[in-house]
Amino acid sequence: MNTSKLGILQRLRLRENQIFLALTIILGILCGLASVLFSLAIEGTRQLLFGLAPSSLRLLMVPTLVSLVTGYLLAKFFPEARGSGVPQTEAAFHLQQGVIAARVPLGKFLTGALCVGSGHSMGREGPCVQIGGGLASLMGRWLRLSPTRVKDLVPVGAAAALSAAFNTPVAAVLFALEEIIGDLNAAHIGSAVVASVTAVIVERSILGNEPLFHVPEYHLVHPAELLAFAALGVAGGLISLLFCKGLLRTRAFFLRMRAATAIFQPAMGGLIIGAVLIFFPQVMGVGYEYVDQALNGGLPLKMMLVLCFVKLAATIISYASGNAGGIFAPSLYLGAMAGGAVGVVVHRLAPFPTSDPGAYALVGMGTLFAGIIRAPITSVFMIFELTQDYQILVPLMIANMLSFLISRRYQPRAVYHALLDQDHVHLPESGGRAAAASRLARDIMTLNLTFIPPGSSVEGAWKLIAENQSKCFLVGSQETLAGLVTRQSIAEAMQSGKASDPLTSLLVSGWTHVHPDHLLELALERFRQNPGLLPVLSRGGTHRVEGVITLETIMQFVETNPQG
């Protein structure tokens, strides 16, 4: 009876990849719920703190006083929750094996809702990325997944949370790949897609199917209009540059202040933001309602120009003073205003017929996103996903490319990475990551193979390996590998009088292998599971040995490729 029960339980045991898949779906639901709750918390906080028509005094005092509270929380309990959350998630992924402490998502939720809800000019997407990544990391550890799997889950959770926060599942997946992993060819794409789609389903089932923005229809009215979009790209690049430089310099100024002031710095920012809100309440919080107005041509030229620069300054102050909130939404806000303004000017002055200014606002959103966040592919797909219109792609790509190039030319380090640099965290450049990822098992293996014939006895094998110092040996031939055997097992068999036994009785069970095109990272992980030797087998015939990886070959590789 007990044996049969144990058998059933054994059959119910899930393998690691099955658990990973189940967890991916669970994370999709969890991160979707977290994002929805976070958005509701921000709006609820805003309504609670500001009411229907706040007085000037209230506008001044709410961000100041709330920032005093969040300043204390951020300094004492949740230091990792300052700022956007995207660079912290990247750092956790690349430098900490995806380990994010449990307090981080909790702290980010709490301080993010308070900061953005109290009127700071910041976005909710960055915090959602950190919350999602944090939840994923936590769940992975609770389920005792391998460190590699835990690391893999971080971008999956981030993509799920972002897709629910911004309602663009494809762009969210691309953002996770392009920004967090830094590699669009990453193996995590399948899991990220599953989680992202699940999160969007959850979000839409709760909040409804309404899109985030009412986007105008786009038609290229005249070919010369592409020049106008190019001009928008240049303007977007310059504004991106202004934003990035301004943010980094202002943050450096705050960081140079005495450490004791860290608790009060968010409140200093809050005071300035409060003063700004008295005159420009439009820059409060996420501000998507004004983005929507700009997209639909509901804002006059002067207002869009003013809001573009006031929002830029307000976001710099909010972020640099150490509050919790992102720059994802502000970059879209700036883009909508700048694009809308360019659109109105072109509409009025161009000697040829042009699209509505709303179309320019839409392209402007992608342009500033490409310039500030430096995720050009995500930006193109994000706008495409919002419009579901192929016609927008050409002007969007022109403007994005120009903005991206200008921004990168004069601010070589991407803003998220530069922010981490200021915190003395140095992420590898995506080029370096790609180079590391491009190292394959064939680069590290040796072709110098030694086989013990499978028909050998233990004694015969013992004689064969007498002059070899290796710990583990291949049994079989190059064309037909029978298995592995360790020096220790042969020695033990000899000592216990089993010299005449066939060698095959000593073969190692459960040994692993790689193929020549497997990534170095995987090869190293599998090497750890083997007793000092990892066979590299052909994909065309999985008994055919193409090489082996040993500790010596690894050391040799490290010596000859110091940057590898």
Q: How far is CA 510 from CA 130, 137, 281, 501, 513, in A?
A: 38, 29, 65, 21, 10
The whole-angstrom separation of Cα 347 and Cα 274 is 35
Subset of 175-194 contacting another protein (CB under 8 A): none
Contacts of 221 (CB under 8 A, 6+ apart): 352, 353, 354, 355
- Determine if 29 is a binding residue for another protein (CB under 8 A): yes
Q: Minimum Å distance from CB 285 to another protein?
A: 11
The whole-angstrom separation of Cα 227 and Cα 60 is 43
* Amino acid in position 127: P
Q: Which of 101, 238, 377, 425 binds another protein (CB under 8 A)?
A: 101
The whole-angstrom separation of Cα 162 and Cα 73 is 24
Identity of the residue, 483 or 531, whose beta carbon is nearer to another protein in the bound complex: 531
Stretch that binds another protein, among 142-150, 171-179, 372-380, 447-455 (CB under 8 A): 142-150
Q: Which of 54, 123, 134, 140 binds another protein (CB under 8 A)?
A: 140
- Determine if 356 is a binding residue for another protein (CB under 8 A): yes
The whole-angstrom separation of Cα 67 and Cα 473 is 64
Q: Which residue has the tokens 């969210």?
A: 172
Q: Which of 66, 75, 192, 202 binds another protein (CB under 8 A)?
A: 202
Stretch that binds another protein, among 172-180, 181-189, 291-299, 378-386 (CB under 8 A): 291-299
- Determine if 429 is a binding residue for another protein (CB under 8 A): no
Instruction: Build a one-symbol-per-residue string for 502-531: x at contacts with another protein by CB under 8 A, - elsewhere.
Output: --------------------------x---
Instruction: Count interface residues toward another protein (CB under 8 A).
Output: 49
- Determine if 197 is a binding residue for another protein (CB under 8 A): no
Q: Residue 390, Cβ neighbours under 10 Å: how many?
A: 9
Measure CA 357 to chain center.
33
Subset of 45-84 contacting another protein (CB under 8 A): 47, 52
**What six digits make up the tokens of 491?**
């020695």
- Determine if 19 is a binding residue for another protein (CB under 8 A): yes
The whole-angstrom separation of Cα 145 and Cα 241 is 42
Q: Which of 206, 224, 447, 491 binds another protein (CB under 8 A)?
A: 206
The partner residues of 474 in beta bridges, in order of sequence, read 451, 484
Identity of the residue, 1 or 12, whose beta carbon is nearer to another protein in the bound complex: 12
Q: Minimum Å distance from CB 238 to another protein?
A: 26
The whole-angstrom separation of Cα 197 and Cα 441 is 34
Strand (E) or helix (H) holding 533: strand 533-537
Query: Where on the chain is the footprint of another protein (CB under 8 A)?
Result: 12-14, 19, 22-23, 26, 29-30, 33, 36-37, 40, 43-44, 47, 52, 96-97, 99, 101, 140-147, 150, 202, 206-207, 210, 214, 216-217, 289, 292-293, 296-300, 356, 358, 528, 551
